[in-house]
Amino acid sequence: MLRTADHDTIIVALTAFSCISERLSGEGDGSQSGQDFLTRKEGLKMLVTMLEGEDENVVLQSLGVLQTVLENYDSSRATAKEVQATAALAGVLDDTRPPAVLTLAAHSLFFLIDNDEEEQRKFEEYNGTALLERLQQTHQNHPQVLTAAALCQQALAKSRQQSDKKESAQNGHVK
């Protein structure tokens, strides 16, 4: 299902990508490089805002940039969490979206929830495990979606195991 956006959403998205493009090519005001812009709060906030749009092409482009930034710049992860990227990404995990969108959203989520119990809790507030399970049920013919969802599930399971071990160790010392 292809979603359509209103004119204002498209203009905002195109303006943001134009700004990003200018900064990447050095045509902007020269005060920051494209990398700096994308990894800073204002750039990430722009990307996260565009995830909430209705135009599937804008969402896909935003996800591609966000996933690249999260994968390659560890320092951007804390900032992405600060601008509510986990909530926005959970909102993108609608199984009616195209597989490319779902794959990028799940990969991006993985970089935010892996080894971060607080972000995992936030993701679970949006029924994260159920969203991932639904993707695995509805996209069995899309291995990239399955792999990305499995990565997120492994991150969640690993954290649960570590929590169980801590709890078990604490209970053992309470005797």
- Identify residue 115 by its one-letter amino acid code: N
Query: Quick check: pTM over 0.85?
Result: no
* 136, 134, 145, 95: CA torsion to nearest 10: 150
pLDDT tens figures, 11-60: 665 566 556 555 544 554 544 455 566 667 888 898 899 898 888 888 99
Question: Mean of the per-residue pLDDT values for the chain?
Answer: 82
Q: Give yes or no for a contact between 74 and 112, defined as CB atoms under 8 angstroms apart.
A: no
pLDDT tens figures, 94-127: 999 999 999 999 999 999 999 999 999 999 999 9
- In terms of pLDDT, which residue wins out, 170 or 134? 134
For residue 107 the two structure tokens come to: 């990969």
Q: What does the pLDDT average to over 62-89? A: 92
Q: What does the pLDDT average to over 2-9? A: 51
Proportion of the chain above pLDDT 90, given as a percent: 50
Q: Please name the helix (run of DSSP H) or strand (run of DSSP E) that holds residue 132, with its range, or none.
A: helix 128-138
